[in-house]
């Protein structure tokens, strides 16, 4: 059960939680990104969770779910204090003919409920792959209708560099009920991609590495590899550099954007990048090339 804080304790937590700048608490945003709340900086998270240890609380006690999306061995060796583990492939169906396809929504709801995530929870995801797995979860949460999710900028590497507290103890939580309210404007199907081709302002982005794009791609796709969203330190590029990167490829906020990759992971990374920049119309074709490339009836270019 969530614990009640004293007035002084709540004030201490408010200082730390304000640093997160997440919309649930209504604090002003001070970043050059249009949607800065989609990223949590390591220093801000340290400031938010430090009062918890002093108060004898866990993140879940104040509605904060920290989710570590690394391999189990890495999590067990050390993780952010209070973080819960989620297998990198937990949301992918195990026996789907399309590799990487999502599990049924009801199963994902149960998975999130087991992590203690509720409608009003603040959720911070992190991994050790530049946000590769964390971004998929952020996109998924927005598709499921959850509004208070973010990615730890720079992930585990940035956390260690910031001297964030590390623990080997499992995070504590209570099972809750998570109920999705699907947002179709965040999700695209193969049929949507075909229809989208005729849109005057439509852009389809293939975020895979160029060598994979050259081996086979959707004819009208633009290749903008996801790894180029990151700066040299593994964090998202600042807003001006990120915007210039997409504009060099002819992609602006006026476009209706669908993006895909190989199995629905990397496309979510570029989804987060465009959402950070405030692009209003962004969807992920999450079944991606794994579906499209294997369907003989869908148009494609191959080497």
What does the pLDDT look like over 225-256, one tens digit per residue? Answer: 999 999 999 999 999 999 999 999 999 999 99
What is the model's pLDDT at position 123? 96
Q: How far apart are the first and last CA of the chain?
A: 58
Q: Which one from 39, 205, 261, 284 is the annotated catalytic residue?
A: 261
pLDDT, mean over the chain: 89
Average pLDDT of the residues in 114-128: 95
pTM of the complete model:
0.89
Residue partners of 138: CB distance under 8 A and separation at least 6 = 38, 125, 149, 150, 151, 268, 272
What is the model's pLDDT at position 55? 74
Average pLDDT of the residues in 67-81: 97
What is the model's pLDDT at position 31? 64
Is residue 10 scored above 80 in pLDDT?
A: no
Average pLDDT of the residues in 88-102: 92
Higher-pLDDT residue of 5 and 34 is 34
What is the model's pLDDT at position 163? 95
- The reply to whether domains 7-167 and 184-302 share a CATH topology is yes
Is residue 194 scored above 50 in pLDDT?
A: yes
Task: Give me the residue spans of the domains in the chain.
Answer: 7-167, 184-302
Higher-pLDDT residue of 6 and 184 is 184
Q: How confident is the model at residue 25 (pLDDT cuts 50, 70, 90)?
A: very low
- Is 58:97 a contact under the CB 8 Å cutoff? no
What is the model's pLDDT at position 24? 38
- Strand-strand pairing, 39-40 and 84-85: unpaired
Average pLDDT of the residues in 128-154: 96
Q: How confident is the model at residue 22 (pLDDT cuts 50, 70, 90)?
A: very low
- Distance, in Å, from the CA atom of 261 to the CA atom of 280, rounded to the nearest integer, reads 20
Fold of 7-167: Oxidized Rhodanese; domain 1 (3.40.250)
In the chain, % of residues over pLDDT 70: 89
- Strand-strand pairing, 202-206 and 256-260: parallel
* Architecture of the domain delimited by 184-302: 3-Layer(aba) Sandwich (3.40)
Higher-pLDDT residue of 260 and 28 is 260
Q: Where are the beta strands (DSSP E) in 35-148?
A: 39-40, 64-68, 79-80, 84-85, 122-126
Average pLDDT of the residues in 37-51: 90
Catalytic residue status for 261: yes
What is the model's pLDDT at position 86? 97
């Amino acid at each position: 059960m969530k614990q009640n804080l004293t007035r002084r304790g709540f004030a201490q937590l408010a200082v730390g939680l304000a640093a997160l700048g997440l919309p649930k608490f209504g604090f002003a945003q001070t970043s050059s990104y249009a949607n800065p709340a989609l990223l949590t900086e390591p220093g801000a998270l340290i400031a938010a969770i430090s009062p918890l240890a002093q108060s004898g609380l866990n993140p879940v006690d104040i509605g904060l779910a920290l989710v570590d999306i690394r391999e189990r061995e890495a999590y067990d060796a050390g993780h952010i204090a209070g973080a819960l583990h989620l297998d990198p492939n937990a949301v992918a169906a195990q026996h789907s003919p399309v590799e990487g396809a999502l599990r049924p929504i009801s199963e994902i709801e149960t998975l999130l409920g087991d992590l203690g995530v509720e409608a009003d929870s603040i959720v911070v995801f992190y991994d050790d792959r530049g946000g590769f797995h964390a971004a998929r979860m952020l996109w998924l949460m927005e598709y499921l209708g959850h509004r208070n999710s973010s990615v730890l900028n720079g992930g585990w590497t940035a956390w260690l560099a910031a001297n964030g507290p590390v623990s080997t103890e499992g995070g504590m939580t209570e099972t809750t009920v998570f109920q999705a309210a699907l947002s179709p404007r965040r999700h695209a199907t193969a049929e949507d991609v075909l229809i989208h081709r005729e849109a005057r302002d439509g852009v389809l982005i293939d975020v895979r590495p160029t060598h994979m794009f050259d081996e086979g791609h959707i004819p009208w796709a633009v290749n903008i590899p996801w790894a180029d969203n990151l700066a040299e330190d593994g964090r998202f590029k600042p807003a001006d550099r990120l915007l210039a990167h997409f504009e060099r490829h002819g992609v602006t906020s006026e476009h209706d954007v669908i993006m895909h990759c190989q199995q629905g992971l990397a496309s979510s990374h570029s989804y987060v990048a465009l959402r950070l920049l405030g692009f209003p119309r962004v969807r992920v074709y999450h079944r991606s090339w794994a579906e499209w490339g294997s369907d003989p009836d869908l148009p494609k270019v191959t080497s």
